[in-house]
Structure 1
Amino acid sequence: MTSFTTTRQDACPWVTAFDKSGFPSIWIPDLSDSGIVEQIVLQKWGAPQDVAANSPHTSTGIGIGATLDRLRAAYPALAQKEGKYAPFYSVTNDNGKWINFTVNDGGLVDAIVVRASPNVDSEYCG
């Protein structure tokens, strides 16, 4: 992570963001200011294909830029959920943790959120 730029915005100091050109950004929100990582958000603003080659992947090979069809094939138990602005997709592991995926209008994964619940926040700085 030392090659990433670490930023905190004045408007939302509870989010630490790590950015690097050509890579998805990594956000670690800490709304309770506990210092405990409760979720990790991997995302790309704009075109997911711009960072797909450098995206971390799940154990089944899903990263930013994967197609919805590939996501469904990788996770047969994937459930579609309704978010505030758009649907998202969730799958749990044997330990009750969740991987949540958002998909853009072009059918590509544009965010991956790992947390203890089947949720994707509609805003992190709102």
Structure 2
Amino acid sequence: MHIEHIAFWVQDLEGMKDFYCQFFDLTPNEKYHNPTKQFTSYFLSFPTGARLELMHRPDVAEFVGPKGMLNGLTHLAISVGSKERVDTLTEAFRAAGYEISGEPRTTGDGYYESVILDPEGNPIEITG
């Protein structure tokens, strides 16, 4: 068994697609659109085959508050392969104006990681 995909409701479908594809080298599929439900989505694929699904519908309410601090899905962790890549990506996010909510460090359970917030405030752990 394995996780096939993880889905996010998003407010800015195109902006979020561009963000994840730019920084994490994901490949998007063609945009899906269901006009009856006013639903649009993209699947973004990692080279390993895992996927993220970004979904938008105008009637889905935006969450106001600190994401990742409620019961349920807390964060997404993306392994980038090395400590050096964690550091490089963290600096790329900083230079692009994204919030770094956790500076690069080795955690108590042995991960080397930083935490950034995506454009809609979702916490993303970048691990080595």
Q: TM-score, normalised by structure 1?
A: 0.31
Structure holding more helix per residue:
2
**TM value normalised by structure 2:** 0.30
